Structure 1
Amino acid sequence: MTKAEKIKNTIRETKERRKTLVPTVCQLKLQNLSRKKEELLKRAFLEAKWLYNWLVADLGRLDLPTNEVNEVEVKVGEVFEKRELNVLGSQVKQEIADRLKDNLRALARLKESGHRVGRLKFKKFVNSIPLKQYGVTYSLDFGRNRVRIQKLGDFRVLGLHQIPSDGEIANAVLVWKPSGYYVHVTCYLPEEYFCYPYKLGRAVGVDSGVNPKLTLSNGIRIDFEVSETPRLKKLQKRLARAEKGSRNREKIRRLLRREYEKLNNRRRDAQNKVLAFLRLYGVVVFQEDCVKGWEALFGRQVHSSGIGGLMTRLRDSLATPVSVGRFEPTSQECFACGKRHRLSLSDRTIECDCGWKCDRNLNAALVILRKGLGLGPDRAVGLDRPELTPLERKAAARILGSNPYIRVSFLL
């Protein structure tokens, strides 16, 4: 058996084994960086930018053995100067070329789908370096809390306790953020790690909107919003007045990136809390809403909450998600009898001739739950009297109440 055949067999076996595992990403932060280490990391990201732009300038260079490239041409003003690649490892160079090939394939797929696409542009800066091979491009030392990166050396990291001993470690990415340097490690874990010892209920329906953001079929309303801070607005004004190309402008841009990172972390934490609460249910039913269409009228509320990202994570992160079609009538359909009503955005309650009267969002969540379970109005026995149990109230207070940007209310 040749070496290529052995590699193919190993890849095939790995894919089969990982079908039963769940991928997750653990974030490790590099700690106690000396000035020499920081300069080394900055040089690595600079060389990654040089190599990427050198390949973009002439895509025919992708046929060359990128791992053997030790010198590239960089445009400085109107002339080209040669720069040596002293910090990047050979495997990392090849992975940067593979990333460029993946970008080209993505553009080709978009073009085939009818989208208008242009050519790849040069990067002003690179903030991530792929580390695909565990044990070659990077390795972890759990005893000393350290990570070793090819040609960059050892770094002390914070967060290795997130990776269990029986986890299968895969690729990683070295990321440069305004708050520091991180290593995002992908590991595959058994499904047992994501199973909770108890469940709040068998199934719950989720109706998404602008205000409130989420309404559950048991009567819980969840609203969250992280607005722009006064500091962010002040920095934006300073950036508009700064001279283009000046050092002061670059300094303000770094401060802006740091402020945006803080806002994104707060929104991400709110999403994590909501997902942690919904994982306590056996089945979560939601509707595939077009969140992008809401931006025309409610752009600021949609952007400040990140509701679109939350709906995507509902579909990808939950163990048993059930989706209802985007064009299924839920808000204007009576839960009790299935009759449709014409409601405007100002109508917050639904009243039906059958005697059903309910909050508009709660009715939509109940309809979503019924349709997700495949039940008709005549078969939805037991769903017409949802009860909010004391256990659900305690769980909502414990999980959702720990975030100051989440507001919880109860309709029942």
Structure 2
Amino acid sequence: MQVVAVQSIANNKETPWVNKLNSQARQSAADRAWQSITRFYQNCHAKIPEKKGFPRFKKHSRSVEYKLTGYKLSDDRRKIKFTDGFKAGEFDLWCSQKTLVYYSEQQIKRVRVVRRADGYYCQFLIDVERQEYYKPTGQITGIDLGLKEFYTDAQGNTVENLRYLRKSEKRLKKAQRRLSKRFCQGNKQSKNYHKQRIKVARLHLKVSRQRKDKAIKDALALVQSNDLVVYEALKVRNLVKNRKLAKSISDASWYQFTEWLNYFAKIYRIVCVAVPPHFTSQDCSVCGTRVQKTLSTRTHQCPNCQTVLDRDHNAAINILKKGLQYLGNHLNASTSLGIDTERSRSVNGTVGQTETDPNA
């Protein structure tokens, strides 16, 4: 059915550019479209309470993916030439040739050309097993994600929340105001409008890259310094429904951080556990007494055992305890079923979470 649909689009006179594209690139685009449609219907049948993910229209100029044909790399991996009907020609590769030299052409499975606000980028999918040397540290920790501090661990250490969007708001407002003034209702937009639109897009792209860079560095540092990391399984989609905190929550980029945390946990073969966040800030980490607090109350004071701790530090200790309890139950269940727990740990370094590269 997919092949017939792709062939009919290629022969359609209204879309002549499709016929110029490499056949495998056409098939790859059809595969991604079909996956999004299938996912939408699966969500509809599952009757999930959130949005079902109806496929959105995307411009054909956003990206194109080649599999094994349609491109050719130079011997020194410094240039790439596209050989399909578009006749785009040959392009220089920047910052990638040193890495690509180590891989043969047989290992490069796909090449994706992606358009960003500041130019075009080539993404290479390489078939290679990534192995990192890891020396056990004997350390375990739990982390409480927050807005005041990005996270607080069970030892009381904190990582600053840099708030990249908040810091860029002044420049963004100024750039968006200029863009709004250059917009002409009902007319073709001027070149100055499109120049300003690109400036606004680049500012947003910079914020996005800053968030990603920080998420990668924080996740990698956490994985390299601990043998066990426990964190809260927060439902960010529900949290951003709070209009007063939605921008701050999105700016913190918790979901991206946890995705990279799980990815590096698999690469370095450590255990990463997500636990339910219920009452981690309310319960006392020493005696277990539930002490009700508002969001503005930043200090935990237990009336039963007189413990005084920072609210986030107390929550991080509770999160670590929940993770250890979960692992204890998992270990007991595995032992009773006769499962090799050492093999289970080495294969499933991340418990109950995705194990794919967040960039994929």
The reply to whether TM is greater than 0.5 is yes
C-alpha distance in structure 1 between counterparts of 2:290 and 2:101, whole Å: 51
Q: 1:124 to 1:64 in 2, by over 3 A?
A: closer
Q: 1:301 to 1:202 in 2, by over 3 A?
A: same
- For the residue of structure 1 that corresponds to 2:149, the secondary structure is coil
Aligned to 1:113: 46
Q: 1:321 to 1:233 in 2, by over 3 A?
A: farther
> Counterparts of 1:327-366 in structure 2 under 5 Å?
327-352=277-302, 353-366=304-317
- Shift of residue 157, structure 1, vs aligned partner: 0.9
C-alpha distance in structure 2 between counterparts of 1:170 and 1:346, whole Å: 52
C-alpha distance in structure 2 between counterparts of 1:344 and 1:220, whole Å: 23
Runs of at least 5 residues in structure 1 that lack an aligned partner in the other structure: 1-59, 75-82, 377-412
2:76–2:97 Cα contact (<8 Å) kept: no
Aligned to 2:98: 161
Aligned to 1:393: none
C-alpha distance in structure 2 between counterparts of 1:176 and 1:142, whole Å: 25
Percent identity, aligned pairs only? 25
C-alpha distance in structure 1 between counterparts of 2:324 and 2:71, whole Å: 46
1:350–1:359 Cα contact (<8 Å) kept: yes
- Say whether residues 1:278 and 2:222 are aligned partners: yes
- Say whether residues 1:251 and 2:195 are aligned partners: yes
> Counterparts of 1:129-140 in structure 2 under 5 Å?
129-133=64-68, 136-140=69-73
Q: 1:375 to 1:253 in 2, by over 3 A?
A: closer
Per-residue CA deviation, residues 145-200 of structure 1 (Å, 9 max, x unaligned), is 2334342444221223335836843323110112111111122443423x34x455
- Shift of residue 265, structure 1, vs aligned partner: 1.1
Q: 1:237 to 1:358 in 2, by over 3 A?
A: same
Q: What amino acid does structure 1 have at the position aligned with 2:325?
A: G
* Residue of structure 1 aligned with 2:321, choices 370, 380, 393: 370
1:72–1:84 Cα contact (<8 Å) kept: no
Determine which structure has greater relative contact order: mean sequence separation of CA pairs < 8 Å that are 6+ residues apart, divided by chain length: 1
- Shift of residue 126, structure 1, vs aligned partner: 3.1
- Say whether residues 1:226 and 2:202 are aligned partners: no
- Say whether residues 1:265 and 2:204 are aligned partners: no
C-alpha distance in structure 1 between counterparts of 2:305 and 2:89, whole Å: 72
Aligned to 1:300: 247
The structure with more strand, counted as a fraction of residues: 1
> Counterparts of 1:39-58 in structure 2 under 5 Å?
none
Aligned to 2:356: none
Q: 1:276 to 1:99 in 2, by over 3 A?
A: same
Per-residue CA deviation, residues 352-376 of structure 1 (Å, 9 max, x unaligned), is 3224322111111111112212289
- Shift of residue 282, structure 1, vs aligned partner: 1.6
Per-residue CA deviation, residues 81-113 of structure 1 (Å, 9 max, x unaligned), is xx4556422221222222222222122122223
2:143–2:232 Cα contact (<8 Å) kept: yes
- Shift of residue 70, structure 1, vs aligned partner: 5.7
Q: What amino acid does structure 2 have at the position aligned with 1:100?
A: A
With structure 1 as the length reference, what TM-score do the two structures score?
Answer: 0.65
C-alpha distance in structure 1 between counterparts of 2:178 and 2:3, whole Å: 42
* Residue of structure 1 aligned with 2:13, choices 63, 72, 95: 72
- For the residue of structure 1 that corresponds to 2:30, the secondary structure is helix
Please give the root-mean-square deviation of Cα atoms over the aligned residues, in Å: 3.0
Q: What amino acid does structure 2 have at the position aligned with 1:305?
A: A
Q: 1:139 to 1:288 in 2, by over 3 A?
A: farther
- Say whether residues 1:202 and 2:139 are aligned partners: yes
Higher alpha-carbon deviation: 103-112 or 172-181: 103-112
With structure 2 as the length reference, what TM-score do the two structures score?
Answer: 0.74
Q: 1:139 to 1:106 in 2, by over 3 A?
A: farther
Aligned to 1:312: 259
C-alpha distance in structure 2 between counterparts of 1:358 and 1:118, whole Å: 42
C-alpha distance in structure 1 between counterparts of 2:279 and 2:306, whole Å: 20
* Residue of structure 2 aligned with 1:91, choices 24, 29, 35: 24
- For the residue of structure 2 that corresponds to 1:350, the secondary structure is strand
Q: 1:138 to 1:199 in 2, by over 3 A?
A: farther
Q: What amino acid does structure 1 have at the position aligned with 2:173?
A: K
Q: 1:314 to 1:171 in 2, by over 3 A?
A: same
2:212–2:256 Cα contact (<8 Å) kept: no
- Shift of residue 325, structure 1, vs aligned partner: 3.0
C-alpha distance in structure 1 between counterparts of 2:53 and 2:219, whole Å: 37
Aligned to 1:177: 116
* Residue of structure 1 aligned with 2:151, choices 214, 218, 221: 214
- Shift of residue 230, structure 1, vs aligned partner: 2.8
Runs of at least 5 residues in structure 2 that lack an aligned partner in the other structure: 328-360
1:288–1:325 Cα contact (<8 Å) kept: yes
2:6–2:30 Cα contact (<8 Å) kept: no
* Residue of structure 1 aligned with 2:180, choices 240, 243, 258: 240
- Shift of residue 211, structure 1, vs aligned partner: 1.1
Q: 1:272 to 1:178 in 2, by over 3 A?
A: same
1:332–1:341 Cα contact (<8 Å) kept: yes
- Shift of residue 67, structure 1, vs aligned partner: 9.2
C-alpha distance in structure 1 between counterparts of 2:264 and 2:74, whole Å: 29
2:18–2:26 Cα contact (<8 Å) kept: no
Per-residue CA deviation, residues 329-362 of structure 1 (Å, 9 max, x unaligned), is 2111222222222122222222332243221111
Q: What amino acid does structure 2 have at the position aligned with 1:132?
A: K
